[in-house]
Amino acid sequence: MQSDAFKQPVFVGKTSYIQKIDCVVDAIEFLEEWPVERRGLLHAAACEACYSAYDGRKPVEVARKAFTTWARKIGLIEHVPAAPPWMTGPKISNADRV
| pLDDT, one tens digit for every residue, the chain (98 residues) | 458 899 999 999 866 788 999 999 999 999 999 999 999 999 999 999 999 999 999 999 999 999 999 999 999 998 776 666 655 666 665 555 55
Q: Give the model's pLDDT for residue 16.
A: 75
Question: The pTM is what?
Answer: 0.78
Contacts by residues 77-86 (CB-CB < 8 Å, ≥ 24 positions apart): 77/10, 77/11, 77/12, 77/13, 78/11, 78/12, 78/13, 78/18, 79/11, 80/11, 80/18
Q: Give the model's pLDDT for residue 1.
A: 42
Q: Give the model's pLDDT for residue 88.
A: 62
DSSP element (H, E) containing 28: helix 24-33
Q: Give the model's pLDDT for residue 41.
A: 97
Q: Are 67 and 61 in contact (CB under 8 A)?
A: no
